[in-house]
Amino acid sequence: MPRVLVSDQLSPTAVQIFKDRGVEVDYEPDLGKDKEKLLAVIDKYDGLAIRSATKVTEKLIASATNLKVIGRAGIGVDNVDIPAASRKGIIVMNTPFGNSITTAEHAVAMMFAVARQLPEADTSTRAGKWEKNRFMGVEITGKTLGVVGCGNIGSIVAMRGIGLKMHVVAYDPFLSEERASQLGVEKLELDDLFARADFITLHTPLTDKTRHIIDKAAIAKMKNGVRIINCARGGLIVEADLVEALKSGKVAGAGIDVFETEPATDNALFSLPNVVCTPHLGAATTEAQENVALQIAEQMSDYLIKGAVSNAINMPSITAEEAPLLKPFIKLAEVLGSFVGQVTEEPIREVEILFDGSTAAMNTRALISAALAGLIRPQVADVNMVSAPIMVKERGIIVAEVKRDKSGVFDGYIRLTVKTANQTRAIAGTCFSDGKPRFIQIKGINLDAEVGEHMLYTTNADAPGIIGLLGTVCGQNGVNIANFALGRNRPGGDAIALLYLDAPFPEQVLAKVRAHETIDSAKPLRFDVSMM
């Protein structure tokens, strides 16, 4: 009988689900706070069910000799070392949609609290001061609400804002004009949103692209008297810059539920009267906590008893029977999506996924989900195969599937084509007998290229000296090229190059490559090769 440890607070109903499904469960809700004790017992368990208190570190994973699955009751998996879990073959699951309404409602509540200074007014009134003239608030009605990140939670906030008779503007690189029209929001670029919004609310995950999305430079572009709400992730805002802006009056108020360092027991924001702070309560309602607890218990039980995988961060959702054949092509689809997602900067309007030959007979739904997850993961770090199709649909992106009989030299391959307002990108790949994904066509140019963890992709007109140029620039700046792949459509036509590197390509060296007149574009790429 599989055995699960619950190391954080979880609903008794969820614990009962494990028992009813035939899983032995130990409920130790305070164990997550005792690192050494948890380390000592983790090897006894097949599954670990957690919230945010338990920190699943590389050290803990190394000691988890029998662990097969980690289940996070909630969406954020910042407290789990996912690469370490992946390397050890441990599946990491979350519950991406169980607390969306709750988090959205908290953001709206914070907006009201900031607009009317409710916490300060409450404290003053309880002290018997009756300071009516001190607490002069602003109305919500008629104001412009800027929603940064218009996915599942952001779109709910946008609809609530429209219901409050606000004018809602939104920034999201994946939000299409059609989806924006359906929601009733005006789609803007980020700087335009900063300039027009009276209230700004953040609903984006914390990634390399979104970290410190609001800093001193961003605040300078905002209206005087803007109010900022963050119920998403700590680290989206440079807290020191926000403190300075609040003190100067540039920012009239802020509602902060998440902090760069948590638990936040000492923070400069706490001393400011125009700030409303809460201790990461976005998902803290009875309904949300119950929903995510029940979901994670069901998901973990289904995996441990039946082998079914759902809402996995690091594993495709496939059945045990499909796994041997499908798994390499799942990774291929994800890699193809990731390639296009990393090189495409404009909002995506359409995605076409072609399955040729043997791939057309596979579980293409899983392959499509993997491709979409790879496509949007550069922008949405917490996406997985289950949530990716929903997130893509929410953004109004059209997804088309095409199947056809074998048409070339390969038994089967996948081609991903993405359309934006100004360009079309296409990439194709297959898996050879070793099960590893390979690129076989980029921009219509045939080649045979492996997938590396760190790569540089360049485009240029086919001309002498490109290989020498790239080699010289890298050599002069201490960048080691592990391997090299080239392709062109015709002599003197379009050409591409893929450089395989030992480490991420340095920004200062990238600038030198891009500055050369013969290089049309240069994009650094990174792929997760731990599951290949």
Which residues belong to the active site?
233, 262, 280
Residue pair 74/96 in contact (Cβ under 8 Å)? The answer is no
CA 27 – CA 41 distance, rounded (Å): 13
Alpha carbon distances (Å) from 335 to 87, 202, 381, 395: 17, 29, 15, 21
The DSSP call for residue 198 is: S
- Two tokens, residue 122: 């409450």
H and E: helices and strands count for the chain = 17, 22
CA 419 – CA 398 distance, rounded (Å): 10
The DSSP call for residue 43 is: G
Q: Report helix, strand or coil for 505.
A: coil
Residue pair 26/4 in contact (Cβ under 8 Å)? The answer is yes
Residue where the block lists tokens 């770090």: 381
Q: Is the CA virtual torsion 17, 101, 257, 230 positive or negative?
A: positive
Q: Is the CA virtual torsion 152, 158, 160, 162 positive or negative?
A: negative
Count of CA atoms in the C-beta half-sphere (13 A) of 213: 27
Alpha carbon distances (Å) from 433 to 248, 319, 329: 64, 22, 12
- Two tokens, residue 263: 């638990």
